[in-house]
Amino acid sequence: MEKYDPKKIEQPLYQAWESAGYFAPSGQGEPFSIAIPPPNVTGTLHMGHAFQHSLVDAIIRRKRMQGNNTLWQMGTDHAGISTQIIVAEQLAKKGLKPSDIGREAFIETAFEWKETSGGQISQQLRRMGASLHWETERFTLDEGLSMAVIEVFTRLFDEGLIYRGKRLVNWDPKLATSISDLEVISEEEQGSLWHIRYPLADDSAETLVVATTRPETMLGDAAVAVHPDDDRYQHLIGRSLMLPLSNRVIPIIADAYVDPEFGTGCVKITPAHDFNDYEVGQRHDLPLISIMNPDGTIADNAPSPYVGLDRFEARKKIVHDLNQADLIASINDHRLMVPRGEKTGVVIEPLLSDQWFVRVEALAKPAIEAVEDGSIKFIPKQAENIYFAWMRELKDWCISRQQWWGHRIPAWYDPEGNIYVGRSLEEVRTQFSIPEAVALRQDDDVLDTWFSSALWTFSTLGWPEKTKALETFHTTNLMVTGHDIISFWVSRMIMMTLKFMDEVPFKEVYIHGLVTDAEGQKMSKSKGNGLDPMDIIDGISADALIAKRTQNLLQERQRAKIEKATRKEFPNGIEPFGTDALRFTFCAIATSARSMRFDLKRVEGYRNFCNKLWNAANFVAMSTNQPIHHEAPIASVADHWIRLQFGHTTHIVNQAMDNYRFDLAAKAIYEFVWDEFCDWYLELSKPVLTADATNTAMKAGTQACLVEILEGILRLAHPFIPFITETLWLALPQSERQGPSLMLAAYPEHGPVDLDAATEVADIRWIKNIVGALRNIRGEQDIPPNKAIPILFTQGAKSDRERQSKFADLITALVKTSDMSWLEDETNAPPSAIQLVGTLKILVPLAGLIDTQAEIERLDKAINKIQQDIIRVEQKLANEAFVNNAPADIVEKEKAKIQSYQSAKIDLENQKARIAAI
RNA sequence: AGGAACGUAGCUCAGUUGGUUAGAGCAUCGCCUCGACAAGGCGAGGGUCGUCGGUUCGAAUCCGACCGUUCCUACCA
């Protein structure tokens, strides 16, 4: 058998699976479906995707093996803003602006880009082993999904749940579009607080000082507000100010919104450029003075010196001009939260514009109830808080974007500006009886990408058509996503699906944590701390990794820092670990915690685990390639034991998976394979298989058990590490497996196993204890493993004698003994190293083997430890409250413990005295 | 400011309803190429479970306060 090399086995297998059609729903069994959170079609697979899909694939593969009719629905979204940015960048390389080529050509270019580069993420998902159903892959801009979008928009509009209005929205001046609240990232930055003197209108000698962090907005001031109870300003309320630079007269108003403690207690009110001021403006009926253009330059209605200036240029000039006029009272350094666009990094402006909104109140109510009444379950339950918090304060959803790439809003305007909404221009003309002579112009805006994503679970299954797929697979069973997506997407899917399907989109939502780097930092391009899952699978040199991390940096000065950090963390680049190791790592770190530090050392450990499994399979193959036939094979004690352990492990894994505890499932498999199967069972099988004296019935039994357990392990582990398990499984003799692929084999099932009740388990535990005791002596005494040691047993129970005689061969094989015998009269014992297992004493005679000093130290350590135990238990038992109140069985246990501790201590002390006397 | 979570070995993390001596991986130290596996085997060391109180016969686990870290939401111009 060749060495384990993931590169050689992984990709060919995936192609074989896909072309055999194994990812498609079987058409039999209970339906089980999961819709993929649509990745951005132009994107590449990042660690979050890789993590998420490792978990989902484990779920879906297990369900498939359990006989469900499984569908993991593939699809991508058009990622309106991101894609528009990318395509614009592509054009810029050719020296073109989007406006140069026009809307039609731009969309065409975007589709071309999608065709050429859009397949990347699909290929990467295949590299991950994701068993997605590719044949029904969907894209949000496909004809079918677009129809669903138009249908939903039209119906909502007809019901009055969509409206158009002039509102203050978050505006990205670089993109010149509205963006979602959720796409605005506010972070604390260093800025200034400018204190500006506003003279009173009727007495320019008297001034009032306002403080602002955005002086340029004063061009749009509509008032200055003070707190109604602020004694300092009572006399000013109702009077007017002469707004500097603009020379407009604005009122001084009283509003409780003002915090008298902050700054001067006077706030300039700019209703068209600040969300709070907008509210104040509404209360006081102030005019909305919008002084900024969509591109962030100052608008025509501002004083002429500033018109056309960029907002930050305008700020400088305004401060300069105020200074000239001696109207700056002071400028202080100030830390403030600056809102920036997630995609562009530019400062976001609240801007007044015409936008389309979804009225969410009526939609939100049933959506909240669906979670409250348990129709939808969040896992972990804590995540419900995020959902409820968001849903309770839900504002109307701005769904229009001033972009070209996306679903164009199905609304038309006649020359008078009347709005008509319908499924198409033709429908609009017919429905509203508009003659061809009247020109109709379609709305230029497109819909927020999340509007189409909100329909995802049912639009991908064919809605509004009543398809078989929709009937079979909706409601989907599960949605797996990150907590940052709950408000963006999960909440909106719930609202829209309840509205149009009259059922929930999914029964459960598993919210996973965030994968961070080893320092706990969020992985990001700008920080240069990201890892590409493909590099972990295939490996990458340090130079190539640095090149990758430092390309397209926003800030050039970061380059050296990133290079240094990368060289320190990955001096030799990254080894190729393979997909299985990466997937297993993701499952193993998927605890219920909110964030997970990703450490390559873990991947290495699980790659080693794969290697271990590979080698164990190799051993099984070698041990069974010459089958011994026997009519009535006998199972050894080890065979019985490992079957019980496997059943137990199967139960644990299934239970863990039912509870979405991927970490516990991975741990159970890891421990069973390595600590029980490899470390003990394979070793225990060796004496049976190699000893001449062993009867062939037992050899046949052991051979059968080896293959049986290995095959079971492969099935149990397949959802986590699909490639290596399938490879090894296909290498098993045909007679040992059922069906053409491990993917389609039955998943192991087992009820709870009471290990403590089984004699075989007790036997193996006894053997482990004896072997452990002897290995401890070997280790502490540095006795080389190839040197056989003589052993004397003394005292002990009757069962010890029985077991010793029954399992002598196994003990010999595991610790290499030269001789084993029982000592009836302890006084004749030669100087020996001693170990206690229960009441059984195990002696290893010193002659020629033992370093007496080392043995005394070892005994001291043991005596010391047992003394601690005795003290602890004695104190417990001396406490009357404990003896009186604790359950009887607990007290009994403690009493039994002290007995054995004390006799053990005496034995050890005697032994020490004997050794010391030599 | 409000809300939430977390703090367990040098590092990364498990620890189910309170009850044997708090576990694992990595790292560390010692021995070993013995016919599956050096991507390995065997052995060992390492924790007053953030701090202080409380409840309890008994607390890593339940409660409170504090310290520290992080996230979310909303922001004071």
Query: How many Cα neighbours within 13 Å face the side chain of A834?
Result: 29
Phi, psi for A729 (deg, rounded to 5): -65, -45
Q: Which residue has the least CA–C1' distance to nucleotide B39?
A: A608
**HSE, side-chain direction, 13 A CA sphere, residue A756:** 0
User: From CA A258, how far away is CA A267, in angstroms rounded?
Assistant: 7
CA A773 to chain centre: 43
Q: Which nt is closest to the CA of A225, judged by C1'?
A: B77
The separation, in Å, between residue A868 CA and nucleotide B58 C1' comes to: 18
Q: How far is CA A153 from the centre of its chain?
A: 32
3-state SS assignment for residue A637:
helix
Which nucleotide's C1' is closest to A883 (Cα)? B57
* Residues 659-688 on chain A lying near strand B, CB distance under 7 A: 663-664, 667, 674, 678-679, 682-683, 686
SS3 state of residue A255: coil
**A333 CA → B1 C1’, Å:** 21
Nearest protein residue to the C1' atom of B19, measured from CA = A890
Distance from CA(A152) to C1'(B52), angstroms, rounded: 59
Measure A489 CA to B76 C1' (Å): 32
What pLDDT is stored for residue A131 in this prediction? 96
Q: What is the mean pLDDT of each run of 10 residues along chain A (918 residues)?
A: 88 94 95 94 87 95 97 92 86 88 92 84 94 95 94 96 92 91 82 90 87 92 89 88 89 88 87 90 90 91 90 92 89 85 87 92 91 89 84 87 94 94 94 92 94 95 94 94 86 95 94 82 76 93 90 73 84 92 93 80 94 96 90 93 95 92 93 95 93 83 96 97 97 92 96 89 93 89 83 90 92 90 84 84 78 77 79 77 78 77 79 77
- pLDDT at position A720, please? 97
Question: Is the CB of A398 within 7 Å of strand B?
Answer: no
Q: How far is the CA of A728 from the C1' of B37 (A)?
A: 15
In the prediction, which pLDDT does A428 show?
93
Contact A464, A151 (CB under 8 A): yes
Distance CA A729, CA A868 (A): 50
In the DSSP assignment, the letter for residue A1 is -
- Asked if strand B contacts A772 at the CB level, meaning under 7 A, the answer is yes
Residues 309-368 (A) near nucleic chain B, CB < 7 A: 334, 336-337
Q: Write the burial class of residue A321 (CB in 10 Å: 0-12 exposed, 13-18 middle, 19+ buried).
A: middle
CA of A340 to C1' of B46 (A): 47
> Is any atom of strand B within 7 angstroms of residue A186's beta carbon?
yes
Q: Is any atom of strand B within 7 angstroms of residue A232's beta carbon? A: no
- One-letter amino acid identity for A225? A
Q: In strand B, which positions have an atom below 7 A from any protein CB?
A: 3-6, 11-15, 19-21, 24-27, 30-34, 36-37, 39-45, 56-58, 70-77
Do A69 and A472 contact (CB within 8 A), yes or no?
A: yes
CA distance A259 to A682: 75
pTM score, two decimals?
A: 0.91
Say which residue the tokens 């997937």 belong to. A583
Nucleotide nearest A868, from its CA to each C1': B21
Subset of residues 466-505 in chain A with CB less than 7 angstroms from any atom in strand B: 484, 487
Question: Tell me, what's the pLDDT at A848?
Answer: 66
* A691 CB and strand B closer than 7 A: no
- The structure tokens listed for A906 are 């005496």
Name residues 576-595 of chain A with a Cβ under 7 Å from nucleic strand B.
589, 591-595
* DSSP per residue, A508-565: EEEEE-EEE-TTSPBP-TTTT----HHHHHH-B-HHHHHHHHHTT-S-TTHHHHHHHH
The residue count for chain A: 918
> Protein A897 CA to nucleic acid B56 C1', in Å?
23
Going A78 to A83 to A84 to A90, the CA torsion angle's sign is negative
How big, in percent rounded to 5, are the helix, strand and coil portions of chain A? Answer: 50, 20, 30
d(C-alpha A798, C-alpha A234), whole Å: 99
3-state secondary structure of A184: strand
Structure tokens given for A76: 């991508």
pLDDT of the residue at A849? 62
DSSP class of residue A217 equals G
Q: Considering only residues 781-820 of chain A, list those whose CB is below 7 Å from strand B.
A: 782, 784-786
End-to-end CA distance of chain A: 53
| Nearest alpha-carbon partner for A719 in A747, A750, A749 | A747
C-alpha distances in Å from residue A55, one per residue of A131, A513, A749: 12, 12, 20
Residue A87 structure tokens? 């395509």
Cβ of A268 near strand B (under 7 Å)? The reply is: yes
How many Å apart are A881 CA and B54 C1'? 19
Rounded-to-integer distance, Cα A477 and Cα A504, Å: 10
CA distance A33 to A472: 9
| A464 preceded by a cis bond (ω within 30 of 0) | yes
Give me the residues paired with residue A162 across strands.
A358
How far is the C-alpha of A152 from the C-alpha of A499, rounded, in Å?
10
A597 touches strand B (CB under 7 A): yes
Q: Are A277 and A269 in contact (CB under 8 A)?
A: yes
Ranges assigned E (strand) in A592-662: 595-597
What is the reported pLDDT for A757?
Answer: 86
Check whether residue A881 has its CB closer than 7 Å to nucleic acid strand B. yes
Distance A897 CA to B20 C1' (A): 9
Q: What is the pLDDT of residue A866?
A: 80
A876 CA → B21 C1’, Å: 14
Indicate yes or no: strand B within 7 A of the C-beta of A18: no
The gap between A834 CA and B26 C1' (Å) is 33
Q: Using the CB atom, is residue A413 less than 7 Å from strand B?
A: no
